[in-house]
Amino acid sequence: MDELNQLTIHEAHELLKRRAISSVELTRSVLERIGQVEGSVGACITVAEDLALKEAEKVDHFIRTNGEVAPLAGIPALIKDVVCTEGIRTTCGSRMLENFVPPYDATVIERLKAQKAIIVGKTNMDEFAMGSSNEHSAFFPARNPWDLSRVPGGSSGGSAVAVSAGEAIYALGSDTGGSIRQPAGFCSVVGLKPTYGRVSRYGLIAFASSLDQIGPMTRDVTDCALVMNAIAGHDPRDSTSAPQPVPDYTRELIPDIKGLKLGVPGEYLVEGTESEVRKALEAAVDSLRELGADVDWEASLPHTKYALAAFYVIAPSEASANLARYDGVKYGYCEPDAGNVIEAILRTRQHGFGPEVKRRIMLGTYALSAGYHDAYYVKAQQVRTLIKREFDRAFERYDALITPTSPTVPFKFGDRLEDPVQMYLSDVCTLPINIAGVPAISVPGGFAGNLPIGIQVIGRPFDEATVLRVAYAYEQATDWHKRRPQI
C-alpha cells in the first residue's frame, strides 16, 4: 500500500485492526518520509528510529496475540521538543538543554504509551516556545511545506510541518499564545488548544505556567478528538489540572449544527488583516449558515485590543521566573571556562540562551522589579480578568465564536525578525484565548494562492465538545483538509 504516512489516525486504526497493515510498516513509512523531506523542511530535532521500530514490533505482537487495538495503538507520532520523554533527548529548541535526556515521561506521554502509541521523535520549535515563526530555534528553522521560502508559524512549527508533510500521522504541540493554532493555520492542519487545566502540564517544560497547554495537531478533526480522548483528564501531579469529567469527544463529531448560535467578534479582524483571510472567514461563515447555524457578525469583545499588551507583560514575567533555574549548576549547559561560580552563571545564561529568550527574560524581569510590579504585572492581571469576564459574557449569548487564526498568510523568512512587535502581532487572534483560558481550534479554511489560511473556533471553558462539533461540521462541508503539499 502506497503512502501509508499520509493516513489519518482513524484510517490507520481500521487497517491495523483488520491486520491489513502492520505497525512496523506504518512506522517505516513515516521514517522513510522523514528521510526524504527532512533536509528540506527541518521539522525534527531528534528521530528515535530504533526505539520506534522496536515498539512497533511489540505492538504487532500484541495485536496478533490479543486482537484488541486501542485507537492510537501502533500509530507513529512526533512530540514537540518541550515535552519530556524518558530516554529521548528533550532540548526545548535551545543550546541550554541540547544534551538533556529526561529521566521520566510527561503525563501526556504516559497516556499515549498506555494506548501503545509509537513515539518516533521530537519536533523543532522556537527556543523555549518563544516565537511565532520557528526562526528562533537554536538549531535550524523549520520550513513551511507549502512554500519553503515561508515560515511554518511557531512555536510548534515543527509539529505542524511534520503532520502536513507526512512525517508523522499526528503530533503534540504546546500553546502559550497561539503556538498550536497559528502554525496549524499556516500549514493547513488541525490544531486544538484545550481549556487551561484540561490536559496535564506535568512534564511540559514551562514557558508561562498560567498560559501553557499541551494539545493535538492532526490531519482532521476526528483525529483531534481521538488524541484528546487519550491525553485529557485530571492529573494529581499537576496542581492546575482540573478534576473535570472528560467526555468521549468522538461522540460529538456530527455534521449537524442546526440551532447553534455563533458569534463573529469584529475586533479579531484587526488592522492589517489580509483581504484573502477576510474572504476565507466570510466563506466559512456562509458554510456554517448553510449548515443551520445562526451566525451573528455583531459579536463584540472590546477588551481584545488590550490582550497583546497584557500577554507581553504576563508571559515574559512568568518566563523570567521559570527560566531562572537554568544557571549551569543543576543540569543543562554550563559555561566551561568561567573563573568562579558567579561568572559561570552569567556566562552560561549569556551563551545558553538565544536573543529572543533573553529579550523576554529582560522584559519579564523589568515588569516584576521593585517600583514596576504594580504598574505592569498587577495591571496586566487586572486586564486579564476583564478579558476573561468578557468571554464569559459572550458565551452567555453564543455557543462558540468564529475568527481567523491569523490576520495573515505565512510570511517569508526574515520579514519580521528585525521587528519583534510585528512578529508578536502574528498571534493577535490567538493569544486572548490563552489569557481567558478557554479552548480553541484551528481548522484548514482555504488558500491564498498556495498559502494556507486557518479558521478558529473558540468555545466555553471545558466545552471542547462543541468546539470540535462546529469544526467537524465545517470540515465535512469543505475539502481544504484533504489537500497535501507537493514536497
Q: Phi first, then psi: what are they for 261, rounded to 5°?
A: -105, 120
324 CB-contact burial (10 Å; exposed 0-12 / middle 13-18 / buried 19+): exposed
Please enumerate in sequence order all residues whose Cβ is within 8 A of that of 58, keeping only pairs 6 or more positions apart, or say none.
Answer: 116
Residue among 155, 164, 287, 317 flagged as catalytic = 155
Q: What is the C-alpha end-to-end distance of the chain, expressed in Å?
A: 20
Q: What is the C-alpha to C-alpha distance for residues 120 and 47, in angstroms, rounded to an integer?
A: 6
Q: Phi first, then psi: what are they for 182, rounded to 5°?
A: -65, -50
Q: Phi first, then psi: what are they for 80, rounded to 5°?
A: -55, 140
Cα angle 167, 172, 176 (rounded to 5 degrees) comes to 130
3-state percent breakdown (helix, strand, coil) of the chain, nearest 5:
45, 15, 40
Alpha helices in 18-70 (DSSP H): 23-41, 49-66
Full DSSP string of 297-325: TT---GGGGGHHHHHHHHHHHHHHHHGGG
Q: Are the CB atoms for 348 and 330 separated by under 8 Å?
A: no
Total Cβ atoms within 10 A of residue 414: 12
Whether 155 is a known active-site residue: answer yes
Whether 133 is a known active-site residue: answer no
Cell match 476573561: residue?
Answer: 388
Total Cβ atoms within 10 A of residue 440: 31
Residue among 94, 179, 188, 287 flagged as catalytic = 179
Instruction: Report which DSSP code applies to 150.
Output: B
Characterize the bridge pairing of strands 294-296 and 261-263. Answer: parallel
Whether 209 is a known active-site residue: answer no
Q: Phi first, then psi: what are they for 210, rounded to 5°?
A: -90, 0
Residue among 80, 116, 122, 193 flagged as catalytic = 80
Annotated catalytic sites, by residue? Answer: 80, 155, 179
